[in-house]
A and B are shown apart, each in its own frame.
Chain A
Amino acid sequence: MTNRPEGLRARYLAAFPKTLDALPGAELGWLRSLRESALARFADLDLPEPRVEDWKYTNLRPLKASDLAVPANDSASADAPSGLPRFGDGARLVFVNGRLDAAASSPALPAGARLLSLGAALAETPDLLESDLGRLVPWQGEGVLALNTAFMRDGYVLAIDPGVEIETPIEIVFHGGAASHAAWHVRNVIRLGEGARATVIESHVGAPDAAYFSNPVTEIFAGPSSALRHYRIQDESIKAQHLAHVAAELAEKADMESFVLTLGAALSRNEIRVAIEGHHVECKLNGIYLQRGTQHSDNTTVIDHKVGDGRADEVYKGVLDDRASGVFQGRFIVREDAQKTDANQQSRAILLSPKARADAKPELEIFADDVKCSHGATIGELDEEPLFYLRARGIDTDTARALLVEAFLRDAIEKITCEPVREAFGKRVEDWIRAEKEGS
């Protein structure tokens, strides 16, 4: 299967010349050459194999061999279905099959802030993107990112001027429609000026049983003293493949909070790479992954402390049932002279079924001496003792297990500082646990 000539790579390479002119910004020379270089890298690299160290625990061979269609050229987008997630009444963009659904979107923001699609941004203000697009994403070294860079289309661009604070959460919905066997490569850009503040909630959802490949890549430029809360819920169709990459650059005193709740997809990976470029930065990366059946979820994070005085905090928790597998890879890099860095990471996974599996690789790479860095990782089943304690009080086993799972996940949920999101995500976690209890 893997070697058949019409594998995913071959189809993308063949489609590129025909697609190039239809991609946004086709008339921009710099973007064309960026896409062409990225395609050349993809031709060399292909999607990573498990022997690539960073992809040791996530196998993309089925995706490589799949008969997914390359992104279509037409500009028509399917209509957004009703009942898509809504957290408040803030600005909102809806993408269906990777294309903006303008009718379902309401992008209006107060003065000093803009929310638009990548295509619109490239048409209106290409200069703003020229120096930055693709700068944070190491597409030269990795096939998934090279592919996205060559084919990137739509996605959202959020730009907030210095000093502007947007209180209401901005909502982005990516919906995978019933049109099966499609792939899309969205590219998002968030740019916060000095002192700007915003909250972004991304929902990645899909029609039940739709089989598609969603490949969103986000570049975040957080200016000095800016604050970004970036929340994501990944509840794709159970047959979807979801490979997300977030690359962020934090300037002095920037504050970034990220939370990823992973529920859906057959296979998913959330990779976050943060470069700390200024002093006194705060970076919080948290997440929960709940998987059952044969689902596979990979959470990979890298926080690169290039200068000192930064603080990083990370909590990832996973619950895995049936034959599901979960991966956590978290690396802290502290460069020479990045003194007074304080970084802490916790990753914990609970296996609910004998066939579930978890892999963890927490890494420290430290080149400065005056630092405090630590990580802790645990993998195991639910504790027997509290289970016994609850049973002794007349609580049945299923209820007791559900309670303990909820308690296990609680402190990760509590890390979400935006209240409506904390409640909504908390509710989704409870739903998952309830389904678990009823299913067992």
Chain B
Amino acid sequence: MTDTSLTPWKVETRTKASAISAIVAALLVLFAFAAPLFASRSVLQDLFFILTMLVLAQNWNLLAGYAGLVSVGQQAFVGFGAYAMFALVILAGLDPLAAIVLAGIASALLAVPTAFFLFRLQGAYFAIGSWVIAEVVRLALAQWKTLGGGTGTSLPREATRDMPALKFIGDLFGVKSSGAGDILTYWLTLLLAIATIFLVYRLLRSKQGLGLAAVRDNQEAARSVGVDARRMKTLVYLAAAFGTGLCGALIYVQKARISPDAAFSVVDWTAYVIFIVVIGGIGTIEGPIVGVIVFYLLQTLLADYGSWYLLILGLVGIATMLFAPRGLWGLFADRTGIQLFPVRRRLTGGPLSSTRKGGPHG
């Protein structure tokens, strides 16, 4: 660079691509919020599905990709959030919207005792332990007879139809309450997805995020410079439980029918999510976004082939892990150096304006 030693050293995360992407993202968000104006109900339902998977994937990515907590039991929080929402609506007669928020808090509360158990376990033990805990929660809730026991139950129609928010949306768009319900759940998930991405991004750019990356890359070294690894991991675990529980409650407000086997399905809420993150690129914010798009395309293409779909998804996941462990986004970012959500710190300014690619992230 020409103006040597005039500019002081600065640590930056912003890049040119990120500035453009911020503008594009803002436009996309506006467009997405306006979607109910022109999109059909089935398109909205598909978008709802994509967004919920994205939220689950971002949460799992935060756990596994940044905090190094490989959980195979996140379905515990999807199911628990969903059941908490059902209990609050059916037994306490709460408005579903309030119940969703409380269900997220309930999931975070569930994460306190499970963290107590799981944080005694390392690595693979942690993965299996999280799965066992999800099974325990499923089996325990299947005993809850007022919520239908093992066969499950439905949300009462009055509860979902008479929400004040639905009436407002129904009047606004001139649709019936079922259509308004789709619009409402779509908006809420869109909001949740944006909030999740924003919060993860903020966390990773913060001092705590730097600590987290340090812990992931080398726990001993991070601790030696004063990063409290356990505290960071617990915090991330609780946050992921909150987000996953919120998302679970939202999914089941839309489904309006719950059973323990569906709500605690390891395939639906964990296997898919893991494949999304791995295929897209673990340890990046962009990865789950790319992954969920690939996942949706594969699902649409292979919809008629039954179990072949999962088989192919599994093979693609294995191949990605072996040959491109940083996923599709990793391949792309390595070639181009583009980061849409830059969390890597770069030293700029000073006598040698360094924009070296390929350094460690964080």
A and B co-occur in one complex: no
